[in-house]
Amino acid sequence: MRALERVEGRDKVTGRARYAYEYPVEGAVYASAVQATVGRGTIAAVDAEAALAIPGVLAVVSCENAPRLRQAADAELAVFQSREVSYRGQLVAAVVAETLDTARDAARFVRIEYAPAAEGPDVRLHPGHPGIYKPDKVNPTFPADSVKGDPEEALPASAVQVEATYTTPAEHNNAMEPHATLAVWEEDGGLTLYDSNQGSSTVRDTLAEIFGLEPERVRVVSPHVGGGFGSKGTPRPNVVLAAMAAGVVGRPVKFAFTRQQMFSATGYRPPSIQRVRLGADGTGRLTTVVHEALSQTSMIREFVEQTATPTRMMYQAPNRRTAHRVTRLNVPTPSWMRAPGETPGMYALESAMDELAYAAGIDPVELRIRNEPETDPESGLPFSSRNLVACLREGAERFGWGDRDPRPAVRREGRKLYGTGVASSTYPAYRSPNQAYVRADADGRFTVRIAAADIGTGARTTLTLIAAETLKVEPERVAVELGDSSLPRASLAGGSSGTAGWGSAVVRACEALLPKLDAGLPAEATADTTDEVKAQEKYARHAYGAQFAEVEVDVDTGEVRVPRMLGVFAAGRIINPTTARSQFIGGMTMGLGMALMEQTVMDEEFGDYLNHDLAQYHVPACADVRDIEAFWVDERDAHLNPMGSKGIGEIGIVGAAAAVANAVHHATGLRVRDLPITPAKIL
Ligand code: MOS
């Protein structure tokens, strides 16, 4: 297929592409949020008088006067419905004013009186926390635990054993565009939302439920979205707040979280504490794999990161166990962040595999190849396709792994120690039911309609290519309309499932259109893949990859730099090489941030995250990213969807942090088992 640059690229760089907050709706006013300043307590009283006295202020909305919502399955969306404060930073009021400046200024004058709880907020995740419990399931619907064979018996009997605890911090998604909504109540009682999200159909359904409207009465418009990384996968409180405020003042309302507010209001990757135990025979074949993960959720909603699930199918071993535990804390509810589960889980597993390689005296690439399973080791299902070994071999070749001296801390040039590391990557290949519409016009042009979301990934461009290929026309003749809930219903841009799900519906609609073209134009066709997705054969469906990294460690400052990262992925058929490469190297860059920089630090006395802006929450800048390359092996998976593709949005981050951490060990001889690897942990 042709490599195509983003079809909306020109609109984006010229500023013509409109984002939620930018729609010029007449009479729009502005909301600003007030956050709780206690970590645990009850709102005793709200004094809005001083704020209301400021010229231009239209309303102060809080638990004292907020309209009652019909229902909110996600308690984080029950905005201003309760006096309970369960974490610091929780939304407690909003000011609506004629201008944004007035709203923000007045928000400082809303006085909230709290009755603090007898004890301070309970915010520290630790293995001895009395509230730790086994959840019924982990995200999205996996069992909390799994067991095969007898790991407790097999482990001590294994020739080589590794036991280690790895910890990862809270991390925040930080999309460039904040979560923003412009809410307009129409004269007929309908609700229009210009909103930044990863799925307009989902936002429509959720908001319809919350405000007790028929879904057809809610329209969500989101043609351009400036990133999400999972944090816009489900609606956040901004949508509810804007719609509620617009109802209160009888005017359209614009609301966006500030960067600082995003750290408590829009979700984050929960911290994890993971214990991994591996046993192997003298040849490096695994006898035992045990992976136990602990994470946190909030007081108001259970969210359990599926941290150990990739371990269930990565490597062959007769004795195996995974377990997830969680505890409720006075913290914001965690949410989806790029490859939730796989990202922290594979950091731990792939670090432990590196430790095992050293303990067994086997090359880390070879160790992984030796433990390649023929079928899914826990479910017994065949793999739809699995080319991890090909990725490891091609990656080793391209990276120059063969020349590596495995001894740690032996490559030194001046103040710098050098080392290299490898890790496997994986992500599930999901597909959801979708609907699509396509029309052929007499001018030779085709229009595709689907409520898909392009959050910066290039989805619009990829769907253009998929439609053009099926219709056997040049992509220039195809226009894709997406990002609007009034278009045929679509699944989320989430779980790396977008292209598979939307693309299937687009292919089927185009296939249905082709025979109609001879009967005269215009012609149109629709498709619904619900039955097709339901009828899928049973396979273990995953994408795989191999991550390689080189590090340079300054022995005086402890600073780690990454001169080189190289990934090779087996992710089905690559539909658009141009945007696919961006997804892979973007994920790898985020993995670099996870390895060395990203962490949000909880204030253990008062609650809430202390570092809540991009000056203090560090992500890689251009100077941190030197040579990153992504390649892919030729793979076409006939069991997944008509394109033969797998998702690529998340796999690039998975394993990247372990590759860097393993390289740090190779360079220095130090095992840092606590991310991020900051200079203090090296010195
Ligand atoms: Mo992704 S974290 O499933 O949007």
Ligand 1 closest atom vs CA 230: 4
User: Cα of 232 to ligand 1 centre, how many Å?
Assistant: 8
Length of the chain: 683
At what angle are helices 577-596 and 342-360 packed, to 10 degrees?
70
Residues 197 and 67 in one domain: yes
Query: For residue 1, is pLDDT > 80?
Result: no
In this prediction, residue 277 carries a pLDDT of 98
Say how many Å lie between the first and final Cα of the chain, rounded.
Answer: 50
Query: For residue 2, is pLDDT > 90?
Result: no
Ligand 1 closest atom vs CA 338: 2
Identify whether 362 is part of a domain. Answer: yes
Q: Where are the beta strands (DSSP E) in 429-559?
A: 435-440, 446-449, 478-481, 523-528, 542-554
587 lines ligand 1 (CB under 6 A): no
Could you tell me the maximum CA-CA distance found in the chain, to the nearest angstrom? 78
User: Cα of 532 to ligand 1 centre, how many Å?
Assistant: 23
Residues 400 and 473 in one domain: no
Domain count across the chain: 3
User: Cα of 649 to ligand 1 centre, how many Å?
Assistant: 8
Q: What is the DSSP letter of 69?
A: P
Residues 453 and 421 in one domain: no
338 lines ligand 1 (CB under 6 A): yes
Return the active site residues: 650
Closest CA to 524 of 621, 601, 439: 439
Residues 330 and 473 in one domain: no
In this prediction, residue 116 carries a pLDDT of 87
User: Cα of 198 to ligand 1 centre, how many Å?
Assistant: 9
Residues 261 and 272 in one domain: no
In this prediction the ipTM stands at 0.97
Tokens describing residue 508: 């089927």
Q: Which domain holds residue 476?
A: 432-534
Q: Is 137 helix (H, G, I), strand (E, B) or coil?
A: strand
233 lines ligand 1 (CB under 6 A): yes
Residues 215 and 274 in one domain: no
Mean pLDDT across 372-387: 98
Residue 604 has a CB neighbour count (10 Å cut-off) of 13
Residues 397 and 273 in one domain: yes
Mean pLDDT across 59-69: 98
Identify whether 419 is part of a domain. Answer: yes
Instruction: Report the amino acid identity of residue 120.
Output: G
Query: For residue 81, is pLDDT > 70?
Result: yes
Identify whether 127 is part of a domain. Answer: no
Ligand 1 closest atom vs CA 497: 3
- What gap in Å lies between CA 585 and CA 597, rounded to an integer? 17
Query: For residue 71, is pLDDT > 90?
Result: no
Identify whether 132 is part of a domain. Answer: no
Pocket probe mutation, ligand 1, options 338, 431, 455, max atoms within 8 Å of Cβ: 338
Q: Is 319 helix (H, G, I), strand (E, B) or coil?
A: strand
Residues 158 and 202 in one domain: no
Identify whether 340 is part of a domain. Answer: yes
In this prediction, residue 98 carries a pLDDT of 98
In this prediction, residue 680 carries a pLDDT of 97
Please say which residue of 534, 566, 593 terminates a domain: 534
Q: Which residue has a Cα nearest atom 4 of ligand 1?
A: 230
- Percent of the chain with pLDDT strictly greater than 90: 99
Tokens describing residue 425: 């990557």
Residues 76 and 34 in one domain: yes
Residues 645 and 597 in one domain: yes
Please say which residue of 490, 509, 534 terminates a domain: 534
The kind and range of the H/E element at 391 are: helix 388-399
What is 614-625 written as a DSSP string?
TTTS----GGG-
- What gap in Å lies between CA 553 and CA 420, rounded to an integer? 11
Query: For residue 437, is pLDDT > 90?
Result: yes
**The dihedral sign for the CA sequence 105, 109, 114, 120:** positive
Identify whether 125 is part of a domain. Answer: no
- What gap in Å lies between CA 67 and CA 53, rounded to an integer? 22
Omega into 433 within 30° of 0, i.e. cis? no
Ligand 1 closest atom vs CA 173: 2
- What gap in Å lies between CA 24 and CA 668, rounded to an integer? 56
Residues 47 and 114 in one domain: yes
User: Cα of 270 to ligand 1 centre, how many Å?
Assistant: 14
In this prediction, residue 169 carries a pLDDT of 98
pLDDT tens, position by position, 143-188? 999 999 999 999 999 999 999 999 999 999 999 999 999 999 999 9
**Considering the entire predicted model, what is its pTM?**
0.97
Q: What is the DSSP letter of 66?
A: P
pLDDT tens, position by position, 315-340? 999 999 999 999 999 999 999 999 99
230 lines ligand 1 (CB under 6 A): yes
pLDDT tens, position by position, 561-607? 999 999 999 999 999 999 999 999 999 999 999 999 999 999 999 99
Q: Is 312 helix (H, G, I), strand (E, B) or coil?
A: helix
Identify whether 7 is part of a domain. Answer: no
Pocket probe mutation, ligand 1, options 305, 335, 427, 650, max atoms within 8 Å of Cβ: 650
Please say which residue of 246, 265, 284 terminates a domain: 265
494 lines ligand 1 (CB under 6 A): yes
* CATH number, position 194: 3.30.365.10
**The dihedral sign for the CA sequence 189, 195, 201, 207:** negative
pLDDT tens, position by position, 613-662? 999 999 999 999 999 999 999 999 999 999 999 999 999 999 999 999 99
Tokens describing residue 106: 């007045």
Residues 547 and 672 in one domain: yes
Instruction: Report the amino acid identity of residue 50.
Output: A
User: Cα of 207 to ligand 1 centre, how many Å?
Assistant: 20
The CA distances from residue 520 to 440, 510, 523, in Å, are 9, 16, 7
The kind and range of the H/E element at 261 are: helix 259-265
427 lines ligand 1 (CB under 6 A): no
pLDDT tens, position by position, 466-523? 999 999 999 999 999 999 999 999 999 999 999 999 999 999 999 999 999 999 999 9
Identify whether 283 is part of a domain. Answer: yes
Edge-to-edge strands of the sheet including 253-256?
Answer: 57-62, 91-97, 29-35, 253-256, 180-185, 191-195, 218-221
Phi then psi for 12, rounded to 5 degrees? -70, -45
